[in-house]
Chain A
Amino acid sequence: TIGMVVLDGSGHIAAGTSTNGLTHKVPGRVGDSPIAGAGAYADSSAGGAAATGDGDVMMRFLPSYLAVELMRAGADPSAACEAAISRIKRHHSQFFGAIICANTTGHYGAACNKVSGFTQFHFMVSNPETDAPVLKSVDCL
């Protein structure tokens, strides 16, 4: 799955996702990716976020919406991402998932839930400082 958040120089935000879902899913199963607020969310007055992982679990908690609303309330993107992951972890300690967050000023962050074989989450960033795609990573909670 890819989840993407884009901001232009004026602070306009868009977000998107694309996926072929989980392997061996029951036919007809749909994950979090096409659900606004779950797979991704964007509000140019607050920020954008995109989630990835086990959509069956993650879509129940609307993590992208939660992260954007936390940024609207003043949380920095890393803290917003961490809170969204922690909210799910409270109910599903072993869920597989991660989220990226960006606010209206171009600050960004990410968070993930640590499970066996998944202790770091990698994501890509491009902005005027990098002027090219740069690989970033975050240690999982």
Chain B
Amino acid sequence: HASLPLVINTWPFKNATFTAWSVLQAGGSVLDAVERGCARCEAEQCDGSVGYGGSPDESGETTLDAMIMNGNTMEVGAVADLRRIKNAIGVARAVLERTDHTLLVGESASVFAENMGFVAEDLTTNKSVNIFSQWLKGNCQPNYRKNVSPDPSTSCGPYRPRSTPTPRQQQQSERTRHANQRSHD
């Protein structure tokens, strides 16, 4: 299967592939194709793991991470813990093209995005509120905390440090249960 051009992406996100391929066919650059393909997934909230309204954190907020890399120049633009901006890959592209930096994070990344013309809006949806509510009702399970009190495997926070560490083997088996095909990076 050696032939160019090529678009390949993780998971069965067909529309993202189609969009990236269409950009290439229309004469766009590889960066354009990656940006538009990933943006399509953000807009469509691909399997709930991309874009707004998915994967709420412990406080119920959705935050976004994105990165784009130019394999010719080795330039990288990335954002992490981005809040209130839906088009994370677009902001990553802006970091690449409009700064000499590589990675902007958190609230400051959102301010950068707004200054670059991206619209700030709530990333919460009814679905993410429901996921968060169910998590609270289920005693905050699954839970990524460890070595804290109260016991994070049975109780919600707030948490404080605990002196007796959880055995490493138990931590690993718990970890396996957390990340899965519906919750992943």
Contact residues in B for A88 (Cβ distance below 8 Å): none
A-B contact pairs, 28 of them (CB 8 A): A5-B34, A6-B7, A6-B34, A8-B5, A13-B72, A16-B89, A19-B49, A20-B64, A22-B179, A23-B135, A24-B178, A35-B103, A50-B9, A50-B10, A52-B184, A56-B179, A57-B175, A96-B179, A105-B4, A106-B1, A117-B180, A123-B8, A124-B7, A124-B11, A126-B7, A126-B18, A132-B18, A133-B21
Q: How many A-B residue pairs have CB under 8 A?
A: 317
Contact residues in B for A3 (Cβ distance below 8 Å): 9-10
Say if the beta carbon of B129 comes within 8 Å of chain A.
no
- Please measure, in the bound complex, the distance between the C-alpha atom of A57 and the C-alpha atom of B55, giving whole angstroms: 18
Partner of A34, one of B37, B67, B176, B178: B67
Contact residues in B for A20 (Cβ distance below 8 Å): 48-52, 54-55, 62-65
Contact residues in A for B35 (Cβ distance below 8 Å): 16
Contact residues in A for B8 (Cβ distance below 8 Å): 4-6, 100, 102, 108, 123-126
The 8 A-B pairs with the shortest beta carbon distances in the complex, nearest first, are A55-B185, A42-B71, A13-B71, A31-B185, A54-B179, A133-B17, A14-B30, A16-B34
Judge whether B131 and A23 touch: CB under 8 Å.
yes
Judge whether B80 and A4 touch: CB under 8 Å.
no
Say if the beta carbon of A85 comes within 8 Å of chain B.
no
Judge whether A124 and B14 touch: CB under 8 Å.
yes
